[in-house]
Structures are given as structure tokens and as C-alpha cells.
Amino acid sequence: MIFRIRFAKYGVVKFIGHLDVMRYFQKAVRRSELPIKYSQGFNPHQLMVFAQPLGVGVTSDGEYMDIETEDVDFAGNALSAERVREILGGALTEGFEIVSIRQIPWQEGTKHPENAMSLVAGADYVMSLKDGYSLGILDSVEQDDKISYLKQKLESFMGQDNIVVCKKSKSGEKDMDIKPYIYEAAVEDNSRIPSFIDETGVAHADVYEPGIRFFFSLSAGSAVNIKPELVLEAFLSYCGEDFNELMFQIHRAQMYSDVEQHTGL
Amino acid sequence: MRKLALSDEILMSVDKSARYIGHEVNAIWKDLDKIDIRFCMCFPDVYEVGMSHIGIQILYEMFNRREDTFCERVYSPWPDLDKLMREHNIPLFALESQQPIKDFDFLGITLQYEMCYTNVLQILELSQIPIFAKERTWEHPIVIGGGPCTYNPEPLADFFDIFYIGEGETVYDQLLDTYKKYRKEGRSRHDFLVAASQIEGLYIPELYDVEYNEDGTLKSFTPREGAPEKVKRQVVADMSDTVYPEKPVVPYIRAVQDRVALEIQRGCIRGCRFCQAGMIYRPLRERSLEFLKKYALAMINSTGYEEITLCSLSSSDYTKLAELMDFLINEMGKRRINISLPSLRIDAFSLDVMSRVQDVRKSSITFAPEAGTQRMRDIINKGLDEETILNGASEAFKAGWDKVKLYFMLGQPFELDSDVEGIPHLADKIAMAFYDTVPKSERRGKVQVTISTSYFVPKPFTPFQWAAQITPEEYLRRKTLLMDTLKQEHNYKSIKYNWHDSNTSILEGLLARGDRRVGRVIYEAYKDGCLFDAWTDYFNMKKWEQAIERAGIDMDFYTTRERSTDELLPWDFIDTGMTKAFMKREYEKARKGQTTKNCREGCGGCGCNSWTTGVCIEA
Ligand code: SF4
Ligand code: SF4
């Protein structure tokens, strides 16, 4: 049986890197006595696939992993999504939480369905201005007008024909037009979230005093992966403002397999 | 979730920030309003090293079983964070509550190796606790040291309020109860320390006056205010009726020991004369099979680790090892948990067990003959002869192994050049045994024999505690002699040679057998920036040499000088149970090349039977 688990990562565990998160879940599975399946070979490993790494310092409500299990638990009862949630959920510690879980239809012996990793096509992000920081461009703007001022700016930023940024990768730097990969962009205060993000996606997003939150829906996955920092940096530089990564808390709200339909993994 | 002591900005700018966030699986949390004593347990090295230490986990469990006490943990901040904490004036904090340690009642620091001493001063200074004990008041925690280095605590005497001599499981309750009483009654810190000195096993350095002779040796060591002349080492009498963690804390980041550790026994029967661990943990005490089974399963279930390791000084001497291994192989097999087995003597039984739990093709077999000739092995009382080594190696080769690691020491007392030359000779014989045993068609290539040598450091409470350490130059000469001899060996292409750095070992020698005056060197070195000396990248011999110079310390006096067996030694005030007469006898026998039986073959009369436990009273 294959189960796809959506989980949240929040609070202090945001400082744990991707490899350690994987090790954390491997241990949680062993503590939980979930009847996970193992690979063959001298050093068998658990059949567990993570959709996409999350950067150190980033929180999330939209992480995914697939696990392949036996059909029955150790007591001999048939496994279900609910049971997996109970068993594994009980072994998680503060900072990790199962948001939802579903069984992926699959007939053992037939071809494996596509896994979470290969399905990722898009992701939603929330970027909140942290306590103690402010934006220079807002200095002369009245408190009540700040959001609408940023909205205007963001609209004209998105209204450009193209948005060229310098994208760094392992192979070097190159200029790239990221506009086609920004599906949505919005800015709101703490009281609102834009319609393209649902409540679940911000359940564990920290809320900060300045009350300025940017929302982006971006291309993600193996084809074109756009980091939200890149977009925000481009926007701020468009406004004539310097960007500093520490100013914003990044939160991944959700990941999608089909961006247009907004279907989660 | 608790608020972290460090800001996001700092945590995002340091390496491995998960070292500092606490909240690990099985970490304990208590309501701060409901406890009387806050204890912070410290391993003065980086998190990944400190979290690998089973002793801390035992004490963490023990303290936290007390309802009135909350024990938390702290490790050395890595230099990147150290710098930021000083810049921003952030006091060092405990991982659980993320609150400053300076507000705690106790700071307990385990002293596992000498090269962590500057890290001890870092912990104190970053905590904003006065480095020197005499400057502390009730405003500051009681700083208490424990662990193997307390068998000569003198170089650290100025920095600690109390040293706990021996195994931590025994008298801490008494200490905490006394503390509570004295605080409640509003007594002075000094009165409390005087009262603590009456608890067996506790050494309060400020209650002892030291005088020196003109030649620099110790003249007298005198207790004041009723402190005992001899401080008695603490020993756990029944290893199966004592505290052990069922739920060890599991780090998020990979620790050096990333596995469940099961201490199967404490102590060693073998009595190798260089070995401090073999002497200070006497007598050998086994834990019962029931105890080990129970804790093995409990720890695996509560941690989710995929590996369990047995710890002990010499696992092959555990009498029920076969039964224990059957149980583990069966139970861990079901759960797909790997078993690792350090410190086994290579014989048919251990090879069989090893081949069942590890990949023979990838693993290597290890021998620690510690000396290259039988003459020298008799001197150090290493009960391992060439025939046993060669037979063991041949058996291993037959079973499919083709990698052998050999550990030796250079510079043990009475070593001759011919003993040094014996090391590559032995390695060559082992390589030869491979080619004799394994037919060409079954070989996967050359055999790989690796020789490692370390530079012998004489340690307190061993028969070699009086011996001279050889000079670094002499160590290098012997190392070169070994290398040159190796090049002449028939199979030298199958043999690799690694050696240990000479600088750290000579310093270790100074710190291991130093007296109170050596504390100045540690202080000067620390103030000049020495930190993480156990890490090659950070160790700076030049700075240490300058510190020794500034402190006016004569290095040779402490390291390369042979002491008379009549000399008053800085650690003589400790009563480990082992008699000085025994150590003298052993030193004499070493000189004559005579061996002593191990505890199971016949009691060597070391004096530890006064504890009436363990191997001393085995039927
Ligand atoms: S076998 Fe020898 S070296 Fe090993 S722990 Fe025992 S006494 Fe020490
Ligand atoms: S008293 Fe005898 S049996 Fe006991 S530890 Fe000493 S030598 Fe071994």
C-alpha cells in the first residue's frame, strides 16, 4: 500500500536540514511500529520518498512524503489512512505534524504510481516581514496605506513584460525571465490571506508585528524551481529597496501537482 | 515550544544551528515552578561528540528521576557561535529551557579527556560565571567536575568548586539534599562546601593546602576544616540494580555515536599496565542478562535508532555474551536493527558473531597488541601472544575478511629499538598469513594491514604513573625507525602506517600528571585563544608553548621525568581502592618482564576486593 502524507514543519525544528528531517522520519517510523516496507539488499532502507527538500530556516504546512507499507499492521489489522495517521502521528514530536494523509490507489504487482517527488509542479509561499525590520520604501507612507501602496507596486511589478533575474545554480549564473513561472503574487496584512492559498496552508506560519506578508505561487519541482527569495528580491529591487534574506520568514504553504487546478500532491 | 535563546539571525549564520535548539526526541521538560534544583550537565566539546556519551545520558536520567530537580544539557558552542555570543554578550544557555546557566544551582562538567580543558574555561566564561572558583558567590552555580580526568583533578583545581571522584550513580542524591538544606537555612556557600566535603567521594579543592619542596615536587597536601585526608572513589555495587536510560535523548543531527549504546559491564579484568580505564573502573562488574535485554528493547523502541552497540572495555570478557548475542541477533533482526560490536577479541566465536552482524567484505578486524614483541607485551601485561594473533587473523581470512587494523603504542617504559622493529615484523607476519591461508583464486586483491601508533602518555593510577614519558623527538625517531623497518618487510606494499601527532600527546602528558600550578598554563592558553584542542584544525602548539613559558612551568619536570615511587604525587589523596603497593609491585614486575594474571585466572591482589563486588567475589 502507498500512502501520501502531507505534513507541517514549524517552530524551532525549522533549523533542521532536509537530510536530518529524513532521518527524523525514519526514526519516527521505527518508533511507531508502522509496518513500512524495506528495499532489498544488505543494507535495506525504508521505502519513503520526500517530495522536495525544504531549506533550513523555512517553515511549512505543505510538505509531502510517500511511504510504502504492508497491508496489515503488526496486530494483523488492515491498514488505512486513518490508522497510519494514528500510528505515525503518535511518534512525532512537537514541530512535526501530519496535516492529511491519503492512500494512493495501486495494485501490488503493477507499475508504481508516480511518486510525490516527480509530481511536484508548483508551490505556494508566504514571506512575512519579521519583527525588528521595516521597508525603507514605506517610511513616508501612512500606516493604514502601507499594504495598498505595496499592492500597487506589486501590480506594476507583475505588469512588466518580463522579469529578468540572475539565477544561481551549481553550473554558474545566468539571466532568466522568471515571469512565466510566477503564477500568483499578492501582499496582505496579518488579517487576510489571498484566495489562492487556503487556511490549512498557513496554519503554522508565524505571524509578525509589521503585518506585511507576501504570497507567491511559483513553479517548483525538477523542471523549473523558483525560490520565493528570488522573486521577492526582484520585486524589492524593482522598488529600489535592498533585500536581505534575514528580513523575511519564509513559509511553504502547499505544493501542487497541477498548478492550474490547484490540486495538492 | 520554548523561545530560543539565540535569534534567527544568529542561528541562520552559524554552522549546524540544530546543535543549539534543544527540543530533541526524549529531551525532558519540567514545570520550572515545581522544582527546587536546576542542574546543567555539560560535556565540554561540540554537540555531536557530547551527545554520543552514554555517561551523560545516565546522569540525565538519574537527576530527572528526582521530582525536585530538573537536569538540562549544554555542550561547547562551536567557534563561530562562540564569537557571536561574545560580540552580543549572550550568556550560555541550557538546551532544554534555553535559559542562562548562570542562574542554575549546579553546573556539572564531565572531564573525559585532557584536551578539553580549555573548553571548560570557555563554558564558564560564556556562561558569565567567574572562571576561578574563589571568585564565585551564591549568585553563581556550584561548578562540579566528574569523569576519568578527576583521577588527577589538580590542574583544574582552581576552576572547580567540587570534584566528584568515581561513578556518578552513587552520592549525588546526598549532595543535592545537602544543598537544598543549606540553601533553605540560608547558610553560606563556604559552609555548604565544607558540608559537601563530608560526603564520601567529593573533593573540595579549596579545603586543601598544598606545599612544594625546593626541587618542585610536592611536599604536603593538607586538608582543612575537617575535610578527609583521602577521598574515596565511588563505585556502583550492583550494576543490574541501578539507573540506566530507557529513553535516551535522540539528536536531530548525526552524532558521532548515532546509535543506541548498551553498557554491558563496567571495568576490565585484564590489567594492562598502561591502561588507566582498566585500573580506575575496577572491579569488573557485569550487568545481568535480564537487565540488558530489557534496556536494549526499551531504548530501541523509544529512540527509533537503526543500530545498537555494546559498550564495555572488553566485551569478549562478558560471561554471557553468547546468550546476549543470540537474543540481540534475533530481536534486532526482526526489527531490522544493525548491531555493532567494538572491542571483541578475535577468535572463532567472535568471528562467527561478527560475520552474522556485519558485511565481512566491508568491515575489518582489529587487534590491539599495543606492542610489537612478546617481551614488550609482557612488560605491559598485555595478555595477547603472537600465536593467538596469527591464528585469529588466519581464521578471519578464511572467513572472508581481508582488512586488518593493528593498534600499538610507542614509548612505553623499557621499550627498546628491537621492540619498535617488532611492530612491522608482526604486521608482515599477518600479511604473510593471508597469502598462506587464502588461495589466489579466492583473493579480492591484496590484504590491507594498517598499523597505527600512538604516543604513550603515562596516566595516574596505573603502574606506569611514575614512568618517564619519552620526548617528542624520541617519539619521532621511533616512528621513523618503524617506517624504515617497514620498508624492508617482504609484504610492505600490503601494510599502511598511520601515526598520532606528537604535540597533543606531550601536552596531554603535562595535563594528566600536572599539579595545581599547571592550572595557570590552561588559563594562559585559553586566554590566548586556545579552544577545541582535541580538534587538529584548532590545536595550536605554539600558543600552548607560549602559555607554558608565561606560566613558568617546566614541561620536562611533568612529562619526561621519572618519579621516584616514594614521591608524593598530586593525586595520592584519592583512594581508588587499588593500593599503591599493588601499583609499585606491578611497575617492578614490568621492569622484570613478569606478567600478572587477569582477575578471572587469579586475583592479583590490587585491593579493589574491598568493594566486595563484581569479579572479586565471582564464584
Ligand atoms: S584489555 Fe587492557 S587495554 Fe583493554 S581495557 Fe582492559 S586493561 Fe585496558
Ligand atoms: S581484588 Fe583481585 S579480582 Fe578484584 S579487581 Fe583486584 S585483582 Fe581483580
CA atoms within 13 A on the CB side of A105: 0
One-letter-per-residue 3-state SS of B406-423: EEEEECCCCCCHHHHHHH
What angle (nearest 5°) sits at the alpha carbon of residue B136, between those of residues B134 and B137? 125
Mean pLDDT of chain B: 96
Chain B CB contacts of A11 below 8 Å: 1, 23
A13 DSSP assignment = G
Q: Which ligand 2 atom sits closest to the C-alpha of B614?
A: 4
* Domains annotated on chain A, with CATH: 2-119 (3.30.70.580), 122-256 (no CATH)
B272 lines ligand 1 (CB under 6 A): yes
Pick the range with the lowest mean pLDDT from B263-272, B361-370, B544-553.
B361-370
Q: Do the Cβ atoms of B397 and B443 come closer than 8 Å?
A: no
What mean pLDDT do residues A151-175 have?
Answer: 91
Please tell me the distance from the alpha carbon of residue A148 to that of residue A136, in angstroms, as a whole number.
Answer: 16
Mean pLDDT of chain A: 94
Please tell me the distance from the alpha carbon of residue B285 to that of residue B241, in angstroms, as a whole number.
Answer: 12
- Following CA atoms B6, B9, B14, B15 in sequence, which dihedral angle do they give, to the nearest 10 degrees? 100
**Mutation probe of ligand 1 site: the residue of B265, B268, B586 with most atoms within 8 A of C-beta:** B268
Q: Inspect the interface and report whether the beta carbons of B303 and A249 lie closer than 8 Å.
A: no
Residue A167: pLDDT band (50, 70, 90) is: confident
- The predicted structure's pLDDT at residue B619: 63
Contact partners, residue B219, CB within 8 Å, separation at least 6: B211, B212, B213, B568
Q: What is the DSSP string of A57-126?
A: T-EEEEEEEEEEB-SB-TTSPBP-HHHHHHHHHTT--TTEEEEEEEEEP--TTSPPPPPHHHH--EEEEE
Contact partners, residue B453, CB within 8 Å, separation at least 6: B407, B408, B409, B410, B423, B479, B482, B497, B498, B499, B500
pLDDT (tens digit per residue) in B21-69: 999 999 999 999 999 999 999 999 999 999 999 999 999 999 999 999 9
Collapse the DSSP code of B586 into the 3-class scheme (helix H, G, I; strand E, B; otherwise coil) and give the result. helix
What mean pLDDT do residues A189-193 have?
Answer: 95
Ligand 1 centroid to Cα of residue B159, in Å, is 31
pLDDT (tens digit per residue) in B70-121: 999 999 999 999 999 999 999 999 999 999 999 999 999 999 999 999 999 9
Amino acid at A250: I
Neighbours of A206 (CB within 10 A): 16
CA atoms within 13 A on the CB side of A196: 23
B332 lines ligand 1 (CB under 6 A): no
Asked if residue B44 has a cis previous peptide bond (ω within 30° of 0), the answer is no
Closest CA in chain A for residue B297: A31
Amino acid at A34: L
Chain B CB contacts of A13 below 8 Å: 21, 23, 252
Please tell me the distance from the alpha carbon of residue B170 to that of residue B153, in angstroms, as a whole number.
Answer: 19
Closest approach of chain A CAs to the CA of B90, in angstroms? 18
pLDDT (tens digit per residue) in B386-401: 999 999 999 999 999 9
Ligand 1 centroid to Cα of residue B142, in Å, is 34
Please tell me the distance from the alpha carbon of residue B35 to that of residue B66, in angstroms, as a whole number.
Answer: 9
Sheet containing B338-340: give its strands across. Answer: B260-263, B307-311, B338-340
Pick the range with the lowest mean pLDDT from A232-241, B40-49, B177-186, B341-350.
B341-350
Residue B347: pLDDT band (50, 70, 90) is: confident
- The predicted structure's pLDDT at residue B348: 86
Collapse the DSSP code of B48 into the 3-class scheme (helix H, G, I; strand E, B; otherwise coil) and give the result. helix
Contact partners, residue B430, CB within 8 Å, separation at least 6: B389, B390, B393, B404, B406, B447, B449
What mean pLDDT do residues A67-93 have?
Answer: 93
Does position B343 have pLDDT exceeding 90, yes or no? no
Chain B CB contacts of A16 below 8 Å: 18, 252-253
- The predicted structure's pLDDT at residue B44: 98
CATH 3.90.550.10 fits B236-344+577-619, yes or no: no
Closest approach of chain A CAs to the CA of B303, in angstroms? 6
Does position B341 have pLDDT exceeding 90, yes or no? no
- Pair type for strands B307-311 and B285-286: unpaired
- Interface residues of chain B, partner chain A, Cβ below 8 Å: 1-2, 4, 8-9, 11-12, 17-18, 21-23, 25, 250, 252-254, 300-306, 335-336, 359
What angle (nearest 5°) sits at the alpha carbon of residue A92, between those of residues A91 and A95? 165
- The predicted structure's pLDDT at residue A108: 84
Angle between helix B502-512 and B472-488 (nearest 10): 140
Q: Which residue has the higher pLDDT, B349 or B404?
A: B404
Distances (CA, A) of B279 to A36, B94, B270: 47, 34, 9
Q: How many CB pairs under 8 A join A and B?
A: 69
Closest of B471, B407, B394 to residue B434, by C-alpha: B394
Share of chain B above pLDDT 90, in %: 94
pLDDT (tens digit per residue) in B420-464: 999 999 999 999 999 999 999 999 999 999 999 999 999 999 999
Please tell me the distance from the alpha carbon of residue B47 to that of residue B488, in angstroms, as a whole number.
Answer: 45
Dihedral sign for Cα atoms in the order A211, A212, A216, A220: negative
Q: Inspect the interface and report whether the beta carbons of A13 and B21 lie closer than 8 Å.
A: yes
Closest of B291, B324, B247 to residue A93, by C-alpha: B247
- Pair type for strands B403-410 and B365-370: parallel
pLDDT (tens digit per residue) in B125-165: 999 999 999 999 999 999 999 999 999 999 999 999 999 99
Which residue minimizes the CA distance to atom 4 of ligand 2?
B616
Give the three cell numbers for residue B335: 526489527
Q: Do the Cβ atoms of B501 and B457 come closer than 8 Å?
A: no
B270 lines ligand 1 (CB under 6 A): yes
pLDDT (tens digit per residue) in B464-476: 999 999 999 999 9
CATH 3.30.750.200 fits B361-500, yes or no: yes
Please tell me the distance from the alpha carbon of residue B63 to that of residue B104, in angstroms, as a whole number.
Answer: 14
Q: Do the Cβ atoms of B37 and B106 come closer than 8 Å?
A: yes
Does position A70 have pLDDT exceeding 80, yes or no? yes
Q: Inspect the interface and report whether the beta carbons of B11 and A17 lie closer than 8 Å.
A: no
Contact with chain B for residue A11, Cβ under 8 A: yes
Give the three cell numbers for residue B431: 600479511
Neighbours of B241 (CB within 10 A): 10
Q: Which residue has the higher pLDDT, B326 or A259?
A: B326
What mean pLDDT do residues A156-182 have?
Answer: 91
CATH fold for the domain made of B8-232? Rossmann fold (3.40.50)
For residue B586, the ligand closest to its alpha carbon is: 2
Does position B550 have pLDDT exceeding 90, yes or no? yes
Q: Do the Cβ atoms of A79 and A70 come closer than 8 Å?
A: yes
Share of chain B above pLDDT 70, in %: 100
pTM: 0.95
For residue B270, the ligand closest to its alpha carbon is: 1
Ligand 2 centroid to Cα of residue B390, in Å, is 30
All CATH 3.40.50.280 domain ranges in chain B, comma separated: 8-232
Closest approach of chain A CAs to the CA of B494, in angstroms? 28
Collapse the DSSP code of B195 into the 3-class scheme (helix H, G, I; strand E, B; otherwise coil) and give the result. helix
Give the three cell numbers for residue B174: 546526598
Alpha-helical segments (H) within B440-579: 472-488, 502-512, 519-527, 541-551, 555-558
Residue B308's H or E segment, with its range, is strand B307-311
Amino acid at B33: D
pLDDT (tens digit per residue) in B234-243: 999 999 999 9
What mean pLDDT do residues B318-333 have?
Answer: 95
Closest of B146, B125, B147 to residue B136, by C-alpha: B125
Q: Which ligand 2 atom sits closest to the C-alpha of B599?
A: 8
For residue B285, the ligand closest to its alpha carbon is: 2
Chain B CB contacts of A249 below 8 Å: 8
Give the three cell numbers for residue A38: 524495506
B278 lines ligand 1 (CB under 6 A): yes
Neighbours of B203 (CB within 10 A): 26
pLDDT (tens digit per residue) in B275-295: 999 999 999 999 999 999 999
Q: Which of B18, B25, B335 sits opposite A15 (nearest CB)?
A: B18
Please tell me the distance from the alpha carbon of residue B63 to that of residue B52, in angstroms, as a whole number.
Answer: 19
The residue of A19, A29, A31, A46 whose CB has the most chain B CBs within 10 angstroms, and thus the best one to mutate to test that interface, is A31
List, chain by chain if needed, residues with CB within 6 Å of any ligand 2 atom. Answer: B 282-283, 599, 603-606, 608-609, 615-616
The residue of B3, B4, B8, B340 whose CB has the most chain A CBs within 10 angstroms, and thus the best one to mutate to test that interface, is B8
Q: Do the Cβ atoms of B586 and B273 come closer than 8 Å?
A: yes
Please tell me the distance from the alpha carbon of residue B548 to that of residue B570, in angstroms, as a whole number.
Answer: 19
